[in-house]
Structure 1
Amino acid sequence: MDVARPGTPPTSAERPGLPRWLPGAAAAAAAALLAWGVHAVVPAIPLLTAAVALGIVAGQLPAARGALTGVLAPGLSLAAKRLMRVGIVLLGLKLSFIDIASLGWVSIATTVAIVLVTFAGTFWLGRLFGLPGHQPLLIATGFSICGASAIGAMSGVVRSKDEEAATPVALVTLCGTLAIGVLPLLWHPLGLDALQFGHWVGASVHDVGQVVATAQIAGQAALAVAIVVKLTRVVMLAPMVAMVGVVEHRRAQRELRASAGAVSAVEPPTDGRDVTTDAAAKRPPIVPLFVVGFLAAALLRTFVPLPEPVLDAADTVQTALLAMALFGLGAAVRLRTLVGTGWRALLVGLISWVLIAALSFGAVQIS
């Protein structure tokens, strides 16, 4: 039994009544507040992008690394997983299927097609370049749907480690930030009017905040189109995550049957545990609960006239939760490792960024 040295203050895990996750959650909340301050001073920097960037910066500081992997780790993990899911549920309150229907069937069909083609193409590229683990899936999700938030949602379904999601989050943040500066430079040379530019931005830029920062320079009408097109892509988060959830569920069932067969061939555990029950407990649900909540929130927004103060409050809470979650994910990024071994992931991300921009430009021409 370990005994604390005299005069040594107890850690958060040793203090009675203090949850282990509290220090990390408090650090994530402070970072979200700081990101809000950065956005308030420089509105062109989206709040969620600032939160990810702060996490990435913190993860590179040698003085902070011990705390990030020690006392702060439980709270940052809670923020990156559970708070992310709650934030995604509240994100559904931004969606109105009536607004999406107003785009017309051609725009809706092309937007859905772009998501599917970009997802499949990026996933294939990730496999082709030999990216490890779930990285191809997470990069494909982030680039095709809605950035770091989508990566967090998908990582919850496949139960990837925070470190595994770190590289996709860094890449989608990098490319989304580049889009804020690059796309406006191409607006007039490509011969797009303001509404076409807004459509292009909404169909190709990753995070909602990055869409706002990019499209607002073309005026309010362009911004409105960009947001509706972007939210049409966000709707795709639910079926894509649900589809992967079904695949993971079936994979877990196969593993459960295999483990049951293996258990029957050997001596059962002496501690009385039921190995098949343990495996079943680890099996993911067919459709994750937060996806159901996301769709329920979107339906509520569509068919129930919610008061503006309620929507504003939900938006504030949703933004705060996602900012905390994205700080937690960003803090897991190690740029030295990314530069040393992540060049293949960087190349996949850049190709995916060009792919979705090119497909979206073509869709604008036919819409």
Structure 2
Amino acid sequence: MTNYKRTLPFFFALMVCVTPWVTSPTALIIGFLLASLGLVPEQFNLTKITKKLLAYSIVGLGFGIHFEQALAVTSNGIGIIITSILGTLTVGWWLTKLLKLEQKLGYLISAGTAICGGSAIAAVSPAIKAKDEDIGLALATVFVLNSLALFIFPVIGHALGLDQQTFGTWAAIAIHDTSSVVGAASAYGEEALTTATTLKLARALWIIPVAFVSAFIFRNDSKKITIPYFILFYCAAIAFSDLLPQFETIYTLIFDISKRALVICLFLIGCGISVTKLKAAGMKPLMFGVSLWVMISVSSLAWLMLA
């Protein structure tokens, strides 16, 4: 097939992903379908474009975090936040070796489970120089579990008679992406939604130290540490929006554009995945993701119910 015949459907799909009706999981699937059908043009360096766009997207998302509010919630739940993040990353490291999973793939899924799903994976992947294939598999795993959590968590919450605050906290800790946290919590109640949303934004701040530590862990053989400079700009965006709140309208616009850019990134990442690559990866990534998810869900719920 000529590059022209590949380019036309590729750019059409790209334009569709720019619209607000396409979600992150859908964009990933569209890219995957194009790759599987051989409709991804070869003349573009999609890997390079994706990594740059990912970094820009993460910086823009910083304008959507209210620092004081995030710090206040973090201080109230600092114990469970630190324990869940460190515990998930530690268990994930051990499980990666046990299942003989590719190290960076296991780390990406662990980071996504520990902090905030696709956003954490997007932030950590440039810091550890992860391959597009690993990023795509990690995102696919997280999105599958997100979809399940959206329906399962409210059912479990009602069955156990959890109060609004407890459920909101549990959802923010144990569900990967913010969108699914909001969806599950809103179905449970208004107080649960407020608690879950605020706590999830507080957890997003932990992208910063985790990205820096990740760069140190995955430094190359020359022992040179690749500093994820985009995280510094991410911090600057949070500080800037906090110090100059009068430009809230502009910050909201930047935040919305960044979320849409992140969707486009997922489309491009999906273009690097194919049925052949998924078969080669096997069931290990999904088994790994489910194991970590069950661990953090059960342990965090036990913590909250016994506290």
Q: Does the TM-score normalized on the shorter chain lie above 0.5? A: yes
Name whichever of 354-363 and 187-196 sits farther off.
Answer: 354-363
Q: Can you list the C-alpha shifts for 1:221-252, whole angstroms capped at 9, x where unaligned?
A: 32221111111221111101101212344x44
Matched, 1:194 2:159: no
- Once residues 303 and 9 of structure 2 are traced to their aligned partners in structure 1, the CA distance between those partners, rounded to angstroms, is 43
Q: 1:192–1:339: structure 2 CA closer, same or farther, 3 Å change rule?
A: farther
Matched, 1:32 2:4: no
Name whichever of 50-59 and 120-129 sits farther off.
Answer: 50-59
Matched, 1:50 2:26: yes
Structure-2 residue corresponding to 1:365: 305
CA shift at 1:11, angstroms? Answer: 6.2
CA shift at 1:288, angstroms? Answer: 1.0
- Once residues 35 and 304 of structure 2 are traced to their aligned partners in structure 1, the CA distance between those partners, rounded to angstroms, is 39
| 1:200-215 paired onto structure 2 within 5 Å | 200-215=170-185
Structure-2 residue corresponding to 1:166: 136
2:70 aligns with one of 74, 83, 100: 100
Q: 1:365–1:298: structure 2 CA closer, same or farther, 3 Å change rule?
A: farther
2:42 aligns with one of 47, 67, 70: 70
- Once residues 289 and 129 of structure 2 are traced to their aligned partners in structure 1, the CA distance between those partners, rounded to angstroms, is 22
- Once residues 178 and 365 of structure 1 are traced to their aligned partners in structure 2, the CA distance between those partners, rounded to angstroms, is 22
1:238 aligns with one of 205, 208, 212: 208
Q: Can you list the C-alpha shifts for 1:48-85, whole angstroms capped at 9, x where unaligned?
A: 2332233334333x2xx2x32624x52x4345311111
Q: 1:341–1:29: structure 2 CA closer, same or farther, 3 Å change rule?
A: closer
Structure-2 residue corresponding to 1:126: 96
**Percent identity over paired residues:** 25
Structure-2 residue corresponding to 1:253: 222
Q: Is the 8 A contact 1:170 1:330 kept in 2?
A: no
| 1:286-325 paired onto structure 2 within 5 Å | 287-325=227-265
The amino acid of 2:18's aligned partner reads L
Q: Is the 8 A contact 1:48 1:319 kept in 2?
A: no
- Once residues 154 and 8 of structure 2 are traced to their aligned partners in structure 1, the CA distance between those partners, rounded to angstroms, is 41
- Once residues 239 and 114 of structure 1 are traced to their aligned partners in structure 2, the CA distance between those partners, rounded to angstroms, is 15
Q: Is the 8 A contact 1:157 1:284 kept in 2?
A: no
CA shift at 1:295, angstroms? Answer: 1.2
- Once residues 99 and 108 of structure 1 are traced to their aligned partners in structure 2, the CA distance between those partners, rounded to angstroms, is 14
Q: 1:144–1:24: structure 2 CA closer, same or farther, 3 Å change rule?
A: farther
Q: Report the aligned-residue RMSD.
A: 2.7
Q: Can you list the C-alpha shifts for 1:300-356, whole angstroms capped at 9, x where unaligned?
A: 233331433212211221111100011112232334543564212211111011112
- Once residues 114 and 239 of structure 1 are traced to their aligned partners in structure 2, the CA distance between those partners, rounded to angstroms, is 15
Q: Any stretches of 5+ residues in structure 1 without a counterpart?
A: 1-8, 13-21, 39-46, 255-282
CA shift at 1:94, angstroms? Answer: 1.9
- Once residues 32 and 185 of structure 1 are traced to their aligned partners in structure 2, the CA distance between those partners, rounded to angstroms, is 32
- Once residues 297 and 96 of structure 2 are traced to their aligned partners in structure 1, the CA distance between those partners, rounded to angstroms, is 18
CA shift at 1:284, angstroms? Answer: 5.1
The TM-score, its normalising length taken from structure 2, stands at 0.88
- Once residues 28 and 252 of structure 1 are traced to their aligned partners in structure 2, the CA distance between those partners, rounded to angstroms, is 39
Aligned residues: 305
Q: 1:363–1:59: structure 2 CA closer, same or farther, 3 Å change rule?
A: farther
Q: Is the 8 A contact 1:148 1:172 kept in 2?
A: yes
- Once residues 33 and 191 of structure 2 are traced to their aligned partners in structure 1, the CA distance between those partners, rounded to angstroms, is 36
Q: Can you list the C-alpha shifts for 1:150-186, whole angstroms capped at 9, x where unaligned?
A: 2222221222221122211111111111111111211
- Once residues 187 and 99 of structure 1 are traced to their aligned partners in structure 2, the CA distance between those partners, rounded to angstroms, is 26
Name whichever of 237-246 and 220-229 sits farther off.
Answer: 220-229
The TM-score, its normalising length taken from structure 1, stands at 0.75
Matched, 1:138 2:108: yes
Q: 1:82–1:179: structure 2 CA closer, same or farther, 3 Å change rule?
A: same
Q: Can you list the C-alpha shifts for 1:259-287, whole angstroms capped at 9, x where unaligned?
A: xxxxxxxxxxxxxxxxxxxxxxxx553x3
Structure-2 residue corresponding to 1:5: none
SS state at 1:87 partner: helix
